């Protein structure tokens, strides 16, 4: 396996793309042509765009820390004079979401129980599919790949009725397990596309050399291909996590009662008419619903960018 390991190291360099330092140098070189006034205008425009996108988050945050008396008396942009987390506590465990008043706590954990297995399973299935369609091609593999791509562009509303019928036959309707199955099936198309296009960039000689050394299908996958897949794995994990966590359509159609995800709970809380409207609680609930995706992007956002720049989603 010595030759295979040498080839794997070379392929790793190819897969990871240009080193970070070189990227920084290229970026600096790309901006060096700008005169100082032009650079100032560029930074000013970027600052305004960033402010435009961050302003709603600021309004949500400061409103969630105010009492309702202060919300009614003040304006949207004013800072809270007496900050309180009472709205957060109520949104988490006491706010009414329709006829029940248990807050978002149950919906949040339903989403966690749904997202974690759905993301891991769909990512693993995409990696295996991409590995087969790029390194173990067979007659008709390109046709199968082209047919799978329909799933990327297919409107989600098209599959609602057949998927509901299938879940009913399987006895998974209105359950968290049913949502996991739906998101795994719908995620396979995009994850296969990501991994297949990424693995095309890994030299076929690597697989041939490993085959000559006696490695089989799974040994090549786990010992050679998978260690080279860090950029595309990070891209796919973040992509799938964001899509599944923020999904509302499947959640409202294929779940009910105790199996509903956080997006459905947030919708029920914001639209309930059984209590006085509390905008601070609504804002706190919206931030709670968005915190996991914000956390993922803050922690792993740099890996997402590196994966994209390393050619993880090139066509």
For 218-234, the pLDDT digits (tens) are 999 999 999 999 889 98
Q: Which of 15-29, 70-84, 171-185, 287-301 has the lowest mean pLDDT?
A: 15-29
pLDDT band at 2 (very low <50, low <70, confident <90, very high): very low
Q: What average pLDDT does the chain have?
A: 85
* pLDDT number for residue 282: 92
Instruction: Quote the CA–CA distance of 268 and 249 in Å, as a whole number.
Output: 14
Residues 6+ apart with CB under 8 A from 311: 15, 17, 198, 201
Alpha carbon 75 to its chain centroid, in Å, reads 34
pLDDT band at 21 (very low <50, low <70, confident <90, very high): very low
pLDDT band at 274 (very low <50, low <70, confident <90, very high): low
* pLDDT number for residue 244: 95
Size of the chain, expressed as the number of residues it contains: 315
| CB count in 10 Å sphere of residue 284 | 26
In this prediction, residues 27-41 reach a mean pLDDT of: 66
* pLDDT number for residue 22: 45
pLDDT band at 266 (very low <50, low <70, confident <90, very high): very high
* pLDDT number for residue 29: 52
> Which has more confidence, 308 or 249?
249
305 pLDDT exceeds 90? no
Q: Are 293 and 241 in contact (CB under 8 A)?
A: yes
In this prediction, residues 259-279 reach a mean pLDDT of: 86
* pLDDT number for residue 133: 93
* pLDDT number for residue 20: 46
Radius of gyration from C-alpha coordinates of the chain: 24
Tell me the per-residue pLDDT of 116-131, one tens digit each, with 9 for 90 and over: 999 999 999 999 999 9
Return the structure tokens found at 279. Answer: 């905008």
- E strands present in 21-179: none
CA distances (Å), origin 311, targets 137, 194, 198, 209, 226? 21, 10, 7, 24, 16
In this prediction, residues 134-138 reach a mean pLDDT of: 91
Q: What are the φ and ψ backbone dihedral angles of 51, each rounded to 5 degrees? A: -65, -40
* pLDDT number for residue 32: 58
* pLDDT number for residue 55: 93
User: What pairs with residue 100 in β-bridges?
Assistant: 97
Burial (CB < 10 A; 0-12, 13-18, 19+), residue 153, is exposed
70 pLDDT exceeds 50? yes
User: What pairs with residue 97 in β-bridges?
Assistant: 100
* pLDDT number for residue 310: 63
| Cα 185-188-193 angle, rounded to 5 deg | 160
Instruction: Mark out the alpha helices in 17-35 (DSSP H runs).
Output: 20-31
* pLDDT number for residue 5: 52
Residues 6+ apart with CB under 8 A from 146: none
Q: Are 267 and 289 in contact (CB under 8 A)?
A: no
pLDDT band at 95 (very low <50, low <70, confident <90, very high): confident
60 pLDDT exceeds 70? yes
Instruction: Quote the CA–CA distance of 90 and 280 in Å, as a whole number.
Output: 10
Share of the chain above pLDDT 70, in %: 85
> Which has more confidence, 306 or 257?
257
245 pLDDT exceeds 90? yes
* pLDDT number for residue 309: 67
């Amino acid at each position: 396996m010595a030759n295979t390991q040498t080839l794997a190291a070379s392929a790793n360099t190819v897969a990871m793309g240009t080193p970070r330092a070189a990227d920084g140098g290229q970026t600096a070189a790309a901006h060096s042509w700008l005169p100082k006034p032009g650079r100032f205008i560029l930074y000013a425009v970027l600052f305004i765009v960033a402010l435009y996108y961050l302003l709603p988050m600021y309004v949500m945050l400061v409103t969630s820390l105010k009492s309702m008396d202060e919300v009614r008396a003040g304006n949207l942009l004013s800072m809270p004079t007496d900050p309180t987390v009472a709205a957060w506590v109520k949104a988490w465990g006491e706010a009414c979401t329709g006829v029940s008043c248990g807050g978002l706590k149950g919906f949040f954990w339903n989403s966690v129980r749904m997202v974690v297995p759905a993301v891991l399973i769909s990512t693993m299935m995409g990696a295996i599919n991409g590995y087969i369609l790029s390194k173990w091609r067979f007659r008709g593999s390109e046709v199968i790949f082209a047919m799978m791509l329909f799933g990327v562009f297919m409107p989600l509303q098209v599959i609602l009725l057949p998927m509901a019928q299938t879940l009913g036959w399987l006895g998974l309707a209105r359950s968290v397990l049913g949502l996991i199955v739906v998101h795994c099936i719908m995620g396979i198309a995009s994850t296969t596309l990501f991994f297949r296009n990424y693995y095309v960039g890994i030299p076929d000689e690597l697989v041939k050399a490993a085959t000559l050394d006696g490695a089989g299908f799974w040994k090549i996958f786990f010992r050679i291909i998978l260690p080279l897949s860090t950029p595309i794995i990070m891209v796919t994990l973040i992509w799938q996590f964001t899509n599944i966590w923020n999904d509302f359509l499947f959640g409202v159609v294929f779940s009910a009662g105790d199996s509903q995800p956080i997006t459905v709970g947030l919708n029920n809380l914001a639209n309930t008419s059984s209590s006085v409207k509390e905008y601070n609680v609504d804002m706190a609930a919206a931030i709670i619903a968005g915190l996991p995706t914000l956390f993922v992007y803050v922690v792993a956002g740099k890996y997402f960018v590196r994966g994209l720049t390393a050619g993880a989603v090139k066509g």
